[in-house]
A and B are shown apart, each in its own frame.
Chain A
Amino acid sequence: MELAYPFVLIIGIIGLVVLIFIKYKRKTDYEDGKKIANTKFVKENPYYREVMKRYKILATSLKTVCAISIIMSLLLISRVGSLNLEEMTKYNRDIILCMDVSDSVNELNRDLVEDLKRIVKKLKGERFGISVFNTSSVTLVPLTDDYEYILNKLDELQNILKTRVDYLDRKIGFEDDSVYSASIYLEAGTLVGNEVRGSSIIGDGLASSINLFGDLKENRTRIVIFTTDNELYGKEIVTLKEAGEICKEKGITVFGISPNTILSKDKLSMKEAIEITGGSHYTEGDKNTISSIIDNIEKKGKNLIKGENEVKIVDKPQIPFIILIISLMGLFILDKKVNI
């Protein structure tokens, strides 16, 4: 048994002892009654003796129950609990979501984000990051294991993509403020040099995401979930195939997902580049795309790293609380009976 605030119990018990001491020291024997002489006859009366005996038992029980109630209350205030030793284990795996945010991939991205939220909720110590690209690449979430932050960002991204899809489907007009916000969100930093270099520069997008992994010398499993339709509308610095080769060299596995509108030649070149890394290519609508990716990710080696042990005090107020309830109930019953 551990106490989070043991000083409360100590102060409480000292206070209780002081109160009892003051109560017994004060002579209150004749304060509320009248002095009567020659009580010998009454005191020898069997009925009187029986009543007095009963009264003394009840009064002592009442005091005991009262003391128990106070001690249990003090224990509850002191936050009684137990020490739990938790071993913090983490998986040494990094996952980057690399998204092409050109309009042709919006629907795929929107649906994928929903599935990714489920994946993130299952993560245990793995680091996750998000990179988006069009002409240029932007880090939306750096590699982190703060899953609450990642989920917030994925929610935000999902809402933005939904708005963008609704706008392109003409369900909402540009006068809607959210459409403008969505455009700013998706275009900020992803269209740098767009006039000169064009858009949907896929190879550069994948190659840029490699930088998010940080120290590549560290022994960790690295995975990229790459979404694009592989429709290039600009000049690449690094081709998709070259990006795939860099990934292979750095030990990064790429899993690619494309919308079902992808052209066969684009699909072929994307598949080829991805398979260089040891990953697989999926098309939207393929049966169990996400579960298949999860299975593949699971198959990729993940080693448990034993972290530092963490000692936590877990509140266990059940027993003192139940004793408190029972003693209070006893207190109420005895109080009624003591009033003879």
Chain B
Amino acid sequence: MILNPIIPIWVATITCVLMIIIIVKNKSGMVKKLLTIFLLFVINMRIMIPNRRR
């Protein structure tokens, strides 16, 4: 498994924590928002599975 983040992981982490802080103050649809943030973080990782051994 290869990780090739779109933006550096530390930047993504800070951004996601900031987003969580924003949504925590507003309880409506929190699960959906948390899921969005989680997906955003995972998409940023750009997980790749090589098909040939290198």
Chain A residues in contact with chain B, CB under 8 A?
A: 76, 148, 317-318, 321-322, 324-325, 328-329, 332-333, 335-336, 339
Contact = CB atoms under 8 A, between A and B. Distances in A.
B13 interface: no
Given A329-B18, A333-B22, A335-B29, 5 more contacts: A148-B54, A318-B7, A324-B40, A329-B19, A329-B22
Secondary structure of the A contact surface, majority rule: helix
- Going nearest first, the 4 A-B pairs with the smallest beta carbon separation are A336-B26, A332-B22, A321-B6, A317-B6
Contact of A332 (B33, B43, B54): B33
Interface of B: 6-7, 15, 18-19, 22-23, 25-26, 28-29, 33, 36, 40, 43-44, 46, 52, 54
Q: Looking at A325, A333, A335, A336, which has the most chain B CB atoms within 10 Å of its CB?
A: A325
Contact of B40 (A325, A335, A339): A325
A332 B44 CA distance: 19
A324 B36 CA distance: 11
Contacts of B15: 325, 329
A335 B36 CA distance: 14
Contacts, number: 38
Given A317-B6, A318-B6, A318-B7, A76 B43 contact: yes
B6 A335 contact: no
A124 to B, nearest CB: 18
B6 A339 contact: no
A103 B18 CA distance: 66
A4 to B, nearest CB: 14
Given A321-B6, A325-B15, A332 B23 contact: yes
Contacts of B26: 332, 335-336, 339
Given A76-B43, A336-B25, A321 B7 contact: yes
A321 B44 contact: yes
A143 B29 CA distance: 63
A325 B25 CA distance: 19
A328 B36 contact: yes
Contacts of A321: 6-7, 43-44
Contacts of B33: 332
A318 B19 CA distance: 19
17 contacts: A76-B43, A148-B52, A148-B54, A317-B6, A317-B46, A318-B7, A321-B7, A321-B43, A322-B7, A324-B40, A328-B19, A329-B15, A329-B22, A332-B19, A332-B33, A335-B29, A339-B28
A328 B38 CA distance: 12
B42 to A, nearest CB: 12
B4 to A, nearest CB: 9
Contacts of A328: 19, 36, 40
B8 to A, nearest CB: 11
A339 to B, nearest CB: 7
A324 B40 CA distance: 9
